[in-house]
Each structure stands twice: as C-alpha cells, then as structure tokens.
Amino acid sequence: VRSASGTWESKRIVLAKEKVGFSLHETVLYAGTETSMWYANHIEAVLCTEGEAELTNDETGEKHWISPGTMYLLNGHEKHTLRPKTDFRCVCVFNPPVTGREDHDENGVYPLLTEEG
C-alpha cells in the first residue's frame, strides 16, 4: 500500500481477516518527508529496523530520535509527526487490526474499518 501523500509505503503482513487481534506491517517512510499521524482509533507499536527519524509528539512538542532497535508505543492515541532523515523502515503492530485498505485522512487518522465494510 502506498499512501496518497506519497510519503510512505507499507507491506501489510497480518491483517484483520486473520482474526488474531492485531495487524502487522512493514513500512518505509521516505527520507526528507514529513508525515503527521493520529491513530484516534488504534494503538500502534513501532520497531525501527533501518534508518533514522525524528518523532515529535504534536501534543507536547517533545521530540525523540528514532534509530534501529528503538521501539515506541502510541497507546494514548497521541498526535505525532515523523521526519525521516534517511529512508526509515519499521515494523508496526496495530490494535484493533487494520484491513489493509486504510490510508490517513485529512487529520492523519486511519478510519476504523472492518472486513465487512
């Protein structure tokens, strides 16, 4: 899946249809881009496997440097922005699981989709 914004591409590995309670993705965010996100309907855990990026909590202004081996958890539905310095590859886990059809809306939110609709 390639985002409409063109800032990231994601390989969806485990999806809602597997009925295991989470989804698993490998995502690449491209160097020099900026992606603002807000998972209002999901909790996300992210493990960086390649590259470097700055993560900003848009609610507090707090910034974190993310590099290979760094894991971050968005369990409070935090609005955040990623600014990759290099191509940034990560493994992401979502709960509830996504269907694979989601893309960020104008607020950076994934809609809460089901397999039925």
On whether residue 103 sits in a domain, the answer given is: no
CA–CA gap between residue 42 and residue 81 (Å, rounded): 16
On whether residue 75 sits in a domain, the answer given is: yes
Res 111 pLDDT > 80:
no
CA–CA gap between residue 35 and residue 29 (Å, rounded): 8
The domain of 45 spans 8-85
On whether residue 3 sits in a domain, the answer given is: no
On whether residue 94 sits in a domain, the answer given is: no
On whether residue 91 sits in a domain, the answer given is: no
Res 59 pLDDT > 70:
yes
Q: Calculate the average pLDDT of the chain.
A: 91
Written as one string, the DSSP assignment of 25-82 is EEEEE-TT--EEEE-TT-EEEEEEEES-EEEEETTT--EEEE-TT-EEEETT--EEEE
pTM: 0.86
Number of domains the chain contains: 1
Task: Quickly state the pLDDT bin for 110 (edges 50, 70, 90).
Answer: confident
Mean pLDDT, range 7-27, rounded to an integer: 95
CA–CA gap between residue 40 and residue 46 (Å, rounded): 16
The position carrying tokens 């807000």 is: 38
- Check whether the bond before 97 is cis (ω within 30° of 0): no
Task: Quickly state the pLDDT bin for 1 (edges 50, 70, 90).
Answer: confident
